[in-house]
Amino acid sequence: MAVLIQAPVVIRAAGTPPKKIQEFIGRVSSSTSDTSVARMISPQGWSEPGQTPDFDEYTIVLKGALMAETRQDSHIIREGQALIAPQGEWIRYSTPFDGGAEYISVCIPAFSGDTVHRDTD
């Protein structure tokens, strides 16, 4: 049976300054554990700790630009571009650019605070 999601659930984000996460599909909004889909609105200057997640993350930038740093490279993902970050790879996201970024994040399996494994230092 099809399920209509009336509105996303706003979730507290890691990092500073605050980023807005609107989860449309996932563990919190729809009790979906196999996939999560969220819209992120990230202000200029936002950054979060690095992470080594137990999920694949697919990111599509709708507006602005997002920085993604891995152990091997740094990527600037601009409007209309996407990035695939495989599970088990260390990555850190930030928006150091004017205007910040708006983007969609899809995680398989669904994002969980228990499986993101953020850096603690």
- CATH number where 90 lies: 2.60.120.10
Spatial separation of the C-alpha atoms in residues 32 and 7, rounded to whole Å? 15
Q: Please report whether residue 63 resides in a domain.
A: yes
The gap from C-alpha 114 to its chain's centroid, in whole angstroms, comes to: 15
Note whether residue 27 is domain-resident. yes
- pLDDT < 50 regions, the chain: none
Could you tell me which residues are beta bridge partners of residue 42? 101
Over the stretch 71-90, which tens digit does the pLDDT of each residue have?
Answer: 999 999 999 999 999 999 99
Q: How many domains does the chain have?
A: 1
| Residue 100 located in a structural domain | yes
In a domain, 71, yes or no: yes
d(CA 97, CA 79): 12
Q: What tokens does 40 get?
A: 């992120």
User: What pLDDT is stored for residue 121 in this prediction?
Assistant: 64
In a domain, 26, yes or no: yes
Q: Which domain holds residue 95?
A: 9-108
Would you say the pTM of this structure is higher than 0.85? yes
Predicted confidence at residue 31, as pLDDT, reads 96
CA-CA distance, 28 to 13, in Å (whole number)?
13
* Residue 82 placed within a domain: yes
